[in-house]
């Protein structure tokens, strides 16, 4: 029997040790806890991945349709160097090794204004302007286009712009360590790309020939020495390419979709890492330093499926059995006063308290369920007491007898005490509840083994601390994905010495798809045990 005069059995919690334990968990990131949170949020990751993949595919399609089609063609030139060697009375023309500096000089000459200008003259200025891709920053190449309404560009400016465009769309590289130079030209059409490349290559060969021709003014001598020194010849002309440059639109969509999905998963992992809302039993146990009895599935997720309803019933029964066993381990005398609260209102504490009271009563114990939520929403089992003027408040203030306010037999072995009409302050009157329960037992009436109080949320911690005068153990219900670690820590700090009376925690409203593997294993084991008992 409870002794209202000896309720101060508090053991102060070492806040320093508790904070050290919590910080150690955070300093180590808690890989197992983090993976548990990731597993708990599988639906979110799936949705993020699908949304990222779809967004990436759409962006890839938009880019593929909006990009300017480009075609590139390549031609190859051979750079050689010949010299005249005298051997007695004979002279022999031979090729000598081409140095890297000579190859580099040829590359720079190919990109020079002299060669490209010769190519523009051979192709035509209009063809160059029409066939080459326009630069993205037109003002950098042709700043006068901003003032096109004021004056038209001159021929010299047009040629300068065409020269810059041609240089930007012509690439010259050396093929490995050979004496071959590859010229690659880009245009808006395949035919223009091949023509542009061949004209640039031809202009370079012509420039080389003209350079060698001006060594001497003697025509006879020029014919004899024109093959001497560095020379270039085209060994592979450019042909119109068969396809556009870049990746195909379908490949772009696939790559963009994969990248978008991967990026979405990375974002999800980052959000999970920095998200401190409670989503796993290990996380809740680390924050509260109390045992977490498990997760209660969200009821609406199991409607319409008989198999899920059975699973939910088994899981809820397993969680309630854990909570009852923990209270029995810590409290040996009857009646046992157990308070059920939560950090914030509407987290499912009232539903659990009413269900838990019915579960214990169904097991054969006499239970008194007390609506001590001070005006909060009552459970379905207490709906008949809503709006009553007589209840807990009147009983504590001595304005009503227990037989007048306690509703007997609302369920098997279950009585109910509504909150009644709130009147005044009852902080110092909670011991009257113990006296009333003891008086009922002495009168030969119903002997309560359990008194379960549906307390207010910890947001109004002063009411919970006032009820600590009669509460032996305290259960905290936390809604999945709603309550954060800072909120829980603040609520626990506000409890003061009553924090030591926390017997355990429960996660409510857990999505069906977020139940961890341990809960599934226990559910299957429990159902298997029940099946074996039925067969026996």
Residue 437 · residue 3 · CB < 8 Å: no
Q: In this predicted structure, what is the pLDDT of residue 179?
A: 82
Phi/psi region, residue 163 (left: phi>0; alpha: psi -120 to 50; beta: rest), is alpha
Domain ranges across the chain: 71-84+92-236, 277-525
Phi/psi region, residue 453 (left: phi>0; alpha: psi -120 to 50; beta: rest), is beta
Q: In this predicted structure, what is the pLDDT of residue 522?
A: 57
Q: In this predicted structure, what is the pLDDT of residue 25?
A: 39
Q: In this predicted structure, what is the pLDDT of residue 253?
A: 92
Rounded CA-CA distance 320/508 in Å is 12
Q: In this predicted structure, what is the pLDDT of residue 517?
A: 54
Residue 366's SS3 state is: coil
Q: What are the Cα distances from residue 385, in Å, to 22, 193, 351, 378, 463?
A: 42, 87, 15, 9, 21
Percentage of the chain modeled with pLDDT above 90: 17
> Please, which contacts does 268-271 make with residues 24 or more away whose CB atoms are closer than 8 Å?
268/41, 268/44, 268/45, 268/48, 268/49, 269/38
pLDDT tens digit sequence for 395-452: 888 888 888 888 887 888 899 999 888 877 787 788 888 888 877 765 555 578 899 9
The CATH architecture to which 71-84+92-236 belongs is 2-Layer Sandwich (3.30)
Rounded CA-CA distance 158/144 in Å is 10
**Over 50: is that where the pLDDT of 368 sits?**
yes
Higher-pLDDT residue of 512 and 195 is: 195
Rounded CA-CA distance 87/84 in Å is 10
Across the beta sheet with 292-297, the strand order is 292-297, 502-510, 473-479, 336-342, 450-454, 367-371, 414-417, 407-411
Residue 131 · residue 188 · CB < 8 Å: yes
Rounded CA-CA distance 308/311 in Å is 5
For 211, half-sphere exposure in the C-beta direction (CA atoms, 13 angstrom radius) is 15
- The pairing of beta strand 336-342 with beta strand 170-174: unpaired
CATH number of the structural domain 277-525:
3.40.50.300
DSSP type of residue 144 = G
Q: In this predicted structure, what is the pLDDT of residue 281?
A: 83
pLDDT tens digit sequence for 439-490: 776 555 557 889 999 998 887 778 888 887 888 899 999 998 888 888 888 8
């Amino acid at each position: 029997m409870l002794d209202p005069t000896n309720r101060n059995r508090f053991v102060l919690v070492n806040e320093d040790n508790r904070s050290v334990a919590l910080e150690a968990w955070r300093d180590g990131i808690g890989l197992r806890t983090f993976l548990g949170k990731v597993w708990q949020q599988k639906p979110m990751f799936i949705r993020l991945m699908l949304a990222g993949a779809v967004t990436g595919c759409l962006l890839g399609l938009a880019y593929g349709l909006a990009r300017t089609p480009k075609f590139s063609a390549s031609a190859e030139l051979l750079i050689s160097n010949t010299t005249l060697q005298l051997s007695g009375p004979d002279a022999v023309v031979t090729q000598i090794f081409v140095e890297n500096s000579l190859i580099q000089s040829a590359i720079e000459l190919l990109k020079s204004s002299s060669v490209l200008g010769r190519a523009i003259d051979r192709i035509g200025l209009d063809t160059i302007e029409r066939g080459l891709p326009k630069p993205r920053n037109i003002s950098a190449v042709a700043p006068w286009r901003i003032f096109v309404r004021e004056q038209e560009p001159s021929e010299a400016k047009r040629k300068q712009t065409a020269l810059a465009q041609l240089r930007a769309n012509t690439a010259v590289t050396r093929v490995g360590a050979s004496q071959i130079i590859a010229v690659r030209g880009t245009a808006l059409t395949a035919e223009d790309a091949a023509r542009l490349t061949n004209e640039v290559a031809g202009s370079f060969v012509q420039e080389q020939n003209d350079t060698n021709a001006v060594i001497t003014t003697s025509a006879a001598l020029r014919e004899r020495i024109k093959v001497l020194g560095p020379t270039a010849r085209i060994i592979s002309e450019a042909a119109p390419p068969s396809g556009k440059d870049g990746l195909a639109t379908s490949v772009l969509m696939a790559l963009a979709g994969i990248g978008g999905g991967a990026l979405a998963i990375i974002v999800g992992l980052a959000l999970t890492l920095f998200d401190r809302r409670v989503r796993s039993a290990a996380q809740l146990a680390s924050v509260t330093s109390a045992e977490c009895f498990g997760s209660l599935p969200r009821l609406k997720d199991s409607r319409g499926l008989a198999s899920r309803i059975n699973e939910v019933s088994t899981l809820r029964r397993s969680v309630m059995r854990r909570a009852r066993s923990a209270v029995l381990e810590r409290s040996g005398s009857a009646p046992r006063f157990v308070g059920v609260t939560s950090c914030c209102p509407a987290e499912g504490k009232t539903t659990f308290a009413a269900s838990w009271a019915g579960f214990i009563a169904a097991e054969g114990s006499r239970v008194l369920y007390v609506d001590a939520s001070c005006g909060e929403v009552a459970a379905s089992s207490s709906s008949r007491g809503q709006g009553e003027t007589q209840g807990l408040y009147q009983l504590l203030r001595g304005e009503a007898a227990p037989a007048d306010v306690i509703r007997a037999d609302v369920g098997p072995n279950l009585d109910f005490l509504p909150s009644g009409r709130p009147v005044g302050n009852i902080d110092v009157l909670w011991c009257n509840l113990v006296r009333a329960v003891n008086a009922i037992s002495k009168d030969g009436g119903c002997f309560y083994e359990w008194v379960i109080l549906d307390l207010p949320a910890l947001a109004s911690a002063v009411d919970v601390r006032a009820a600590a005068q009669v509460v032996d153990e305290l259960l905290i219900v936390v809604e999945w994905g709603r309550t954060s670690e800072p909120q829980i820590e603040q609520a626990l700090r506000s409890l003061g010495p009553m924090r030591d009376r926390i017997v355990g925690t429960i996660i409510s409203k857990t999505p069906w798809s977020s139940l961890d593997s341990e809960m599934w294993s226990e559910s299957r084991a429990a159902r298997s045990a029940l099946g074996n008992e039925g067969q026996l």
